[in-house]
Amino acid sequence: MGLKNVFELTNHWKRCGVYMPPDEFGLLDHRLRNEGILLPQDFIDLYRVSNGTSDWDDSSITFYGVGGLITMGSRFSLPENHSMQSVVIFADYMDESWWYGVNLNQEGYEIVIISSGDKLNIVARSLDEFIQLYLADSDILSNYI
């Protein structure tokens, strides 16, 4: 993940008054090892410098802290063998009007908009790309249909 994008992202959050400093109590490592939360390395790197946002920002998006990360399986009570069971939800728009998740796959991962327990729409193929869209307040991040 590009340090420039992380710097821009955390500065944006600070300007909006929603920046949360990183978790210092090992919760990220615990959740990754013991709770079935699977994240790509660039997300892990982001959580090492920030613990999400304290509320929604000027784009009405809330980035969950480490403690708020949840799989689609848990959020939507999906069956164990459901194909979207392990998608990790890391953010939402306007108090869960829709969610953003990380869907790991054989090629790497994609970032998706989740409008319900069974509908995903790909919006980015990397965290860097997602951050660029987010900072530009791109309409792509509201295309959940």
Query: Helix crossing, 27-34 with 41-49: angle to 10°?
Result: 150
Q: Which of 15-29, 70-84, 127-141 holds the top average pLDDT?
A: 127-141
For the chain, the average pLDDT equals 90
Residue 81 pLDDT: 83
Residue 46 pLDDT: 93
CA angle 22, 9, 136 (to 5 degrees): 155
Domains for the chain: give ranges and CATH numbers. 3-137 (3.40.1580.10)
What is the DSSP secondary structure assignment for residue 51, as one 8-state letter? -
Residue 145 pLDDT: 64
CA angle 32, 110, 4 (to 5 degrees): 80
pLDDT-above-90 percentage for the chain: 64
User: What residue spans of 1-145 are helical by DSSP H?
Assistant: 3-16, 27-34, 41-49, 72-76, 127-135
What number is the average pLDDT over the span 46-71? 93
